[in-house]
Amino acid sequence: MRRIAIVLAAGAVVAAGALPATATPAEQPGEYPGVRNVLPPGQSGGMTLPGAAGAVLGDPLGRQAVDGRNAPENFADQLEMYDALNHADLGALTEESLGDYYKDAPLTLTDDEAVSIDRPKDGVVIRRDEFGVPYIEAETREDAAWASGYAGTTDRMFLMDVLRHVGAARAAEFLGPSAENIAMDQEQLRTAYYTEEEAAAQVEEVAARYGEEGERLLAAADAFIAGINAAQQELCPGLVLGPACPVEYAALQRLPQPWDRADVVYIASLVGGIFGKGGGAEYANARWLKQLEQQFGPEEGRRIFDDLRSADDAHAPTTSSEPAPYGGGPVDPAKPGVALPDLDGPTAPGTGDDAGGGGIPAPSLGSLSGRLAPAPMRITGPFGTLDLAEVGDGMSNAALVSAEHTADGHPVAVFGPQTAYYAPQLLTEQAVVAPGIRARGVSFAGTNLVVQLGRGVDYAWSATSANSDNVDTVVVPLCDPAGGTATVESEGYLDDGRCVPMDSRVHEEKALPTLGGVGAPQVLRFHVLRTEHGIVQLRTTAGGKPVAVVTQRSTYRQELDSVIGFERFGNPEYVRDAGSFQEAAAAIDYTFNWFYADDRDIAYYSSGRLPVRAEGTDPHLPRWAGAEWEWQGWLAPEDHPQQVNPPSGYLVSWNNKPAPGWAAADDGWGWGPVHRSLALSDRMAALTGAGGVTTPDLVAAVQDAATVDSRAFYTLPALLDTVGEDPQLAEATALLRDWQERGAHRLDGDRDGAYEDQAAVALFDAWWESSGEDGAVTSVAHELLRGTLGDLVTALPQRLDDHPRQGLGSAWNNVSWYGYVVEDLGGDGDWSRSYCGGGDTVACQEDLRASLRATVDRVLAEQGVSSVGELTYDKHLDDIRAKATGVVGVRDIDWQNRPTFQQVVNFTGGR
């Protein structure tokens, strides 16, 4: 692979003056090598009408992209690099061979190294490398922002357009009135409804909050929008059938419309409302608690709730070793600020209901249902389906080793976000060099005014979802503004004793059928209800009295504020070391775990605009509205989880618990003794214990963890020890134990078409979860608790599994049931009782044996074989299946649990 020679300027300070458009790396002080990355499938994301015709005619490849044949260059070139690491000999990796799996990631490119050079306006040059990545150099920050808008639109124009319409809750209007698009609009209205005026105003509001820094951001944002519009006009100059215009516009019979400030906020609202939040499931928790109390009585019901909630499990793996107390404590519904909606009270819809257009189904309850019924987030376009739910489920990983444990005395890191797989990818890459910014990396399409994840002059950073608790469920007493008797249909609420009308609006869309967005032409009219706390989700009763159930999110109406922190990340005058990076991260309101590496230090900071909750409220349960129960301010930056150069010698995150004492948000029950992050931390402990860690060592360790069935590896010892010696099950238990002892990998290393341990995979998958013809689920995890909970095991508001068969790559994340197995069968006695077999060890063993016997009999009959060793498993069920959002998609690849955008970092010099 091409290597770019980069001039080192040790100790140099990045110049703040303007850079000439033709500047070369030699003229720019302070660029240090040491970063590689990969972003499948590729940088190019547009398909024109002529290209689409060529792709569809004959269709010999099933519309799977082959660069230069049926797709643009650079559409899928990085996919092959990405997939190749999954069957590489990890023990033979070298510094040189890493170039087969990752591309170099410098900040700048010379004219001689560039594949193409574009000067779309004075003061701007955009060079592209062999992978199609744009390298932007500009004379001013505003010029650079303009160029980011221009280049980003060139690479992701239609996808950006989709995302701004989704953020505005106008997917059905833009893409057509399919059931999926209508449901997505309902969900967005319930998450982040804004009028266009409200959205646009947020841009000036954030500028006002941040003074001169905010004013510079405002100017850059306006330039970014101008760059988007310039590229749109160039690609589609009033003609959807133009040779350079994305073909999707012809399919939709739509002309692309100019962007404005509101559009930027609408896309930001997707990041804040879907990806950068945690909590909001207090309603589901309250219902579950009431069910437990009905069956077991108040005291025992609460103890069971606390056991299974795993809010602050002392045995849960953490990223930081330094305590950071926040939230948690035993559930207490008797606190005066707690509001418990009635289990069987009357209900009326909240936001998203039909406001008179007809034909709109009732909205999903979304987060009010916990994790049993996730909110619909599928969008159907002219050539494919986009599922945003795949992006927002707390994914991404990071592994960093400190300098004292490495071979060269400098930190090494492998990290990146797991944002699912799309063609084109939701993320887009760029390198930007201008006054106030020297950064390269990725951002969500349409938000690339800044580099959200990437590298700077002599440092690199990444993030994982933290899912910290910044969303609450607030219960508001209803009233009739006309003075009548309140009912669940009322649209007034009590505020300090006064009956205040809700902010009641109608969100209207004119939706015409399109290719992909089928459905009759219609005018869609959605009802929107808001109180001072936020958006109304449902109206019901509490204690027999009518109430509104409202979601309060700390970043609502402040969707754009986090861009300040992102802007600081890329500014070498702001970020000069680990401490200044943590300060920059503290300005980000979204709940993410941030990781940093330079040539000296590794560092961690968990961000979020996190409320300090009032005494008398319970973080697990809904709270009443009212001054005494309101948020009391925000958690101070110094109280967030953070650490620099931990004594362990490494930092690991895979969406696990950030720090000791940091309680999980009310919607997260999976921070127990089993978490997929153990697959990384176990390997990091071994590496740092041996010392002399190299970059290939760390890449190999992270990739080895990427094929582990963490569910099986960490639960099977407890399950099999409890089953014990049973002659009827000897072959099955031996098969499973042998697989676990060899690492429980789901890997086809020789690419012969089957997992090496397919028989064990097939057996354990069936034991963990199987569905009958009637849809009934059979699971060993359910049987574990059934002896105590009975049929309530299926009402617990948490998903049973996070399996690769979803096609997302990411798997085994934050599933509480994995921890229940270890806690109940082999724990340290932290639970209030034993659940398996109703607390009887003999009954427990028989329950698990019966469960495994039934599984063996069932799978042998289903596959028509006589021995569990003959079982087969179709590995393609687990394949990563990239969602094609345009004409051409990409081939499926073997499963690996790995960041979508992954950086490999080893700086050996710096300022």
Q: What is the amino acid identity at position 312?
A: D
- Mean of per-residue pLDDT scores for the chain: 91
Average pLDDT score over residue span 346-370:
86
Distances in Å between the Cα of 802 and the Cα atoms of 512, 798, 807, 814, 843 are: 37, 11, 11, 8, 28
Q: Using one digit for the tens of pLDDT, what is the confidence trace for 179-209?
A: 999 999 999 999 999 999 999 999 999 999 9
**pLDDT computed for residue 63 by the predictor:** 66
Instruction: List phi, psi (to 5°) of 327.
Output: 70, -160
Closest CA to 508 of 258, 255, 162, 172: 172
**pLDDT at 431 > cutoff 60:** yes
**How crowded is residue 475: how many other Cβ atoms within 10 Å of its Cβ?**
25
Confidence of residue 517 (pLDDT cuts 50, 70, 90): low
41/388 Cα distance (integer angstroms):
18
Residue 839 DSSP class: G
Confidence of residue 392 (pLDDT cuts 50, 70, 90): low
Average pLDDT score over residue span 378-406:
83
**pLDDT computed for residue 589 by the predictor:** 97
Per DSSP bridges, beta strands 412-416 and 134-138 are: unpaired
Percent of the chain at pLDDT > 90 equals: 81
Confidence of residue 533 (pLDDT cuts 50, 70, 90): very high
571/436 Cα distance (integer angstroms):
5
Per DSSP bridges, beta strands 422-423 and 883-884 are: parallel
Closest CA to 608 of 587, 623, 583, 582: 587
**pLDDT computed for residue 271 by the predictor:** 80
**pLDDT at 263 > cutoff 50:** yes
From the number of C-beta atoms within 10 Å of its C-beta (0-12, 13-18, 19+), residue 208 rates as exposed
563/566 Cα distance (integer angstroms):
5
Confidence of residue 846 (pLDDT cuts 50, 70, 90): very high
**pLDDT at 377 > cutoff 90:** no
Per DSSP bridges, beta strands 427-434 and 134-138 are: parallel
- 62 vs 25 pLDDT, higher one: 62
Confidence of residue 622 (pLDDT cuts 50, 70, 90): very high
**pLDDT at 777 > cutoff 90:** no
**pLDDT at 225 > cutoff 80:** yes
Residue 372 DSSP class: S
Say if CB 31 and CB 9 are below 8 A apart.
yes
Range from 132-141, 162-171, 232-241 carrying the lowest mean pLDDT: 232-241
Extract the tokens encoding 33.
């090598």
Residue 833 DSSP class: S
**pLDDT computed for residue 24 by the predictor:** 38
**How crowded is residue 582: how many other Cβ atoms within 10 Å of its Cβ?**
22
88/847 Cα distance (integer angstroms):
42
Distances in Å between the Cα of 510 and the Cα atoms of 4, 184, 188, 340, 611 are: 52, 15, 17, 39, 39
**pLDDT at 633 > cutoff 80:** yes
**pLDDT computed for residue 107 by the predictor:** 97
**pLDDT computed for residue 50 by the predictor:** 73
> To 10 degrees, the CA torsion angle through 840, 842, 846, 847?
10
271/269 Cα distance (integer angstroms):
5
Closest CA to 14 of 438, 412, 344: 438
Q: Quote the radius of gyration of the chain (alpha carbons, Å).
A: 27
**pLDDT at 393 > cutoff 80:** no
**pLDDT computed for residue 61 by the predictor:** 58
Confidence of residue 815 (pLDDT cuts 50, 70, 90): very high
Q: What angle do CA 479, 481, 482 make, to 5 degrees?
A: 120
**pLDDT at 157 > cutoff 60:** yes
Q: Using one digit for the tens of pLDDT, what is the confidence trace for 461-512?
A: 999 999 999 999 999 999 999 999 999 999 999 998 999 999 999 999 998 8
**pLDDT computed for residue 211 by the predictor:** 95
Instruction: List phi, psi (to 5°) of 342.
Output: -70, 145
Q: What is the amino acid identity at position 587?
A: A
612/543 Cα distance (integer angstroms):
27
Strand ranges for 763-835 from DSSP E: 770-771, 777-778
Confidence of residue 18 (pLDDT cuts 50, 70, 90): very low
